[in-house]
């Protein structure tokens, strides 16, 4: 089949992403970037999850936010302090957040920011379970390549380049990310494609070369500002 169908299908989604609280300013608190091991600890026991959920509810009420975008990077990732039990615990946390939000009857949104790597999904995401309780799934289809890969490249590809993307890079593109989440059981009408409006600076390749994906050493050490196209 046409592997570009993933992005094309989002042009005419089956239904619409639920929009709660029409007419209000849409402000959403994002939670989960940094201190990943602490999130594994919090999610591991019901009483800890309850304390966290209570603090979220109080925060939304106090500051007038209309929802929560849960950005845990990443459950089940040992290199970030995760553990195998994160997958189930994350689902339980989101289910309990959904019940707490519904009980408040404020029309709060519950969304989740997620990776588009197969290995990350398998390790930490109960896709059908998560998608059944959230209003939208925000696909992080950016930073798919950067200085940590050791070569210069576009960091947010839409499609795979057959002549260039091999091995683990075959699936590192936005189109594949959409297809992957559908494959794992998420309804299409809940998928929201994250689009990057920024670039990634890189130092000069060593040695200088006009070839695609030239090697580089480390990240840029100073701010480099690009220019918009015509």
Model confidence at 4: pLDDT above 80: no
| Among 110, 95, 142, CA closest to 17 | 110
Question: How far does Cα 1 stand from its chain's mean position?
Answer: 26
The pLDDT, as a whole number, for residue 146 is 72
pTM of structure: 0.78
Model confidence at 21: pLDDT above 70: no
Residue 51 or residue 18, greater confidence: 51
Q: What is the pLDDT of residues 108-117, one digit of tens each?
A: 999 999 999 9
Q: What is the pLDDT of residues 28-55, one digit of tens each?
A: 555 445 556 899 999 999 999 999 999 9
73 part of the active site:
yes
Question: How far does Cα 146 stand from its chain's mean position?
Answer: 17
Q: What is the pLDDT of residues 132-172, one digit of tens each?
A: 999 999 999 998 887 777 777 777 888 988 888 788 888 88
Residue 229 or residue 140, greater confidence: 140
In what helix (H) or strand (E) does residue 60 lie, and over which residues does it extend? helix 46-63
Radius of gyration of the chain (CA): 19
Among the options 22, 47, 73, 171, which is catalytic? 73
Read off the pLDDT of each residue in 202-227 and give the average, rounded to a whole number.
Answer: 58
Q: Walk me through the domains of the chain, giving residue ranges and CATH numbers.
A: 5-193 (3.20.20.80)
pLDDT band at 22 (very low <50, low <70, confident <90, very high): very low
């Amino acid at each position: 089949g046409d592997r570009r169908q993933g992005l094309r299908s989002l042009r005419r989604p089956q239904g619409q992403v639920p929009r709660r609280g029409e007419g209000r300013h849409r402000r959403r608190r994002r939670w989960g970037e940094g201190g990943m091991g602490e999130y594994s600890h919090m999610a591991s026991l019901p009483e800890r999850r309850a304390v966290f959920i209570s603090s979220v509810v109080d925060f939304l009420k106090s500051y007038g936010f209309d929802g929560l975008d849960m950005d845990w990077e990443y459950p089940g990732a040992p290199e970030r302090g995760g553990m195998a039990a994160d997958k189930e615990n994350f689902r339980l946390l989101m289910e309990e957040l959904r019940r707490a939000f519904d009980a408040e009857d404020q029309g709060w949104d519950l969304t989740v920011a997620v990776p588009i790597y197969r290995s990350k999904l398998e390790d930490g995401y109960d896709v059908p379970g998560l998608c059944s309780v959230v209003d939208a799934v925000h696909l992080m289809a950016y930073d798919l390549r950067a200085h940590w890969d050791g070569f210069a490249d576009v960091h947010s590809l839409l499609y795979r380049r057959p002549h260039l993307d091999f091995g683990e890079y075959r699936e590192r593109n936005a189109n594949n990310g959409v297809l992957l989440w559908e494959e794992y059981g998420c309804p299409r009408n809940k998928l929201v494609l994250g689009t990057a409006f920024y670039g990634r600076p890189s130092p000069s390749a060593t040695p200088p070369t006009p070839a695609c994906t030239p090697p580089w050493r480390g990240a840029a050490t100073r701010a480099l500002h690009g220019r918009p196209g015509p």
